[in-house]
Structures are given as C-alpha cells and as structure tokens.
Amino acid sequence: MDILVSESAGVRYLHFSSHWIQGAMRVARPWALELDYTREMMAALLLRPAADWPRAALLIGLGAGSLVKFLHRHRPEAKLTVVEIDPEVVDVARLHFKLPPEDERLRIELDDGADFVAKTKQRFDLIMVDGFDENARTGMLDTLPFYLNCKARLTGSGLLVTNLLSKRKGARKSLERIEEAFDGRALAFPSCDSGNVVAFAATGAPVDHSLGELKALARELKAQTDLNLLPTLSRLEQANRCPAGKLRF
C-alpha cells in the first residue's frame, strides 16, 4: 500500500494508494476536525456530556490523527490509546499531520484493532472505530465478534462510535450487527454528504436527552472547542431520529 499526502487550498490530505481521502488537516488549524464525519463522530461528547468524560478512550485506525488530536487538545485528562496496524501511517501522521508525541496521555499500539480489543483487559469510556484499507474494506472491524468484544471493554458510561460507509454494500447489515451486539442500544446518524454514516452504541447509563438539551450542550461545546454540532442536530431532527423530541438509546 502506498501512502500519499496531497495539499490543496490550505488543507492537507492523506490517501492510501488512491484518490480516496483517509484523513485531512487544515494546516492553519491542525487540531480542528476538517472532515464532516469526524465532526459527527465527536458528537459522542454531547451524548456523554460530563466534563471528565471520557477518562479513557481507544481509537482504532489512526489515519491523519484528527480524532486523537482533538481529544488530546480538548480532553487533557483523558488517557488515549491508538491502535494502528501500519507503522508507516504512524510515521506519516507524525511527519505531516502533527500527531502529538507519545507520553503518559497518549499511547500508540502497532496492532490489528480486532486482535487488540479481543485480548486487552483495559476498559474504556469511549471506543472510536475508523479503520479502512485502500479499498474501503474494514475486515474484522465490522463483525459481530468484534462489536461484542467492544461492548465487553466499555465502562458503565461507555460509547462505541464507528464510521460506516453508506455507499458500501452492507452498511445496513453493519448497523444490524451493532444493534445485535448492544441489545438494540444503537443509533445511526443520517448519512453525511461524503457518504459516511456514523453509528453510536451505548452501555450502562442510558443516553437520554431532549433536543433542547442537546442544542444547549452543542452551543457550550462550540464555545469551548469551536466544534459546531448544531447542523448535525438539525439533520437528526429532520430525519426523525428524535421521536417526541428525544434522543434515547
């Protein structure tokens, strides 16, 4: 697999052997979330709004490091573990995408994500899965055993967040596998313009917020981090994902 870096209009892109964009960074704002699906994945911070959440997060698939950089900057107390199968991706993220150095807050594991989740004994408040090869294949990261292992590794305030591709056959089947693993406690956001679908699944305490509460939380998060999730909430409302004005799962 060839790892390529391109740049256009102040945005640096990561590609795996093709035009397919695997990550992006606005050079002037390296900690910001440039791609729409990465912003939607970070809606986890609205669903579990405690200021000290997540205390421990696992990120499977590094790419350009957008998700880990955002959490590293805006959740400084969180312990972050990144699992990436390809050491060259880590090198490129460090060289071209300003990946922070490893320290007591950030650990990089060179491993297969499914294998890591199956064997680790650590538990996480948040597991984020964004792992694709150059042909947009997920391998074992989209299987029932993997999702069951993720559930077993989550705490009582746990969330799984995974990036699916609605343009890929089987996205509906992917969500069904997540729902089966999490006893129905899952929700897919409407497809982004890019074709990505972000799915969430919860353990322990229920996710139960009114749209009004979520909008207030989104305004607070925007003031703190400049991440604007109000358009995401509008899309959820328009897609009738919040019956009776509630987001609950």
Enter the tokens of residue 21: 């964009």
- Cα 208–chain centre separation: 20
Helix axes 171-181, 144-153, angle to 10 degrees: 40
Which residues are within 8 A (CB) of 15 and not within 5 positions of it... i.e. 6 or more apart? 3, 4, 5, 6, 21, 22
Q: Which of the following is catalytic: 86, 130, 183, 226? A: 130
Q: Are strands 124-129 and 154-165 parallel, antiparallel or unpaired?
A: parallel
Tally of residues, the chain:
249
Q: How far apart are CA 229 and CA 15, in angstroms?
A: 26
Which residues are within 8 A (CB) of 239 and not within 5 positions of it... i.e. 6 or more apart? 190
Beta carbons of 60 and 150 less than 8 angstroms apart:
no
Which residues are within 8 A (CB) of 197 and not within 5 positions of it... i.e. 6 or more apart? 163, 164, 165, 166, 171, 175, 188, 189, 190, 191
Annotation marks residue 226 as catalytic: no
Q: What residues does 163 pair with on adjacent strands?
A: 198
Give the active site residues. Answer: 130
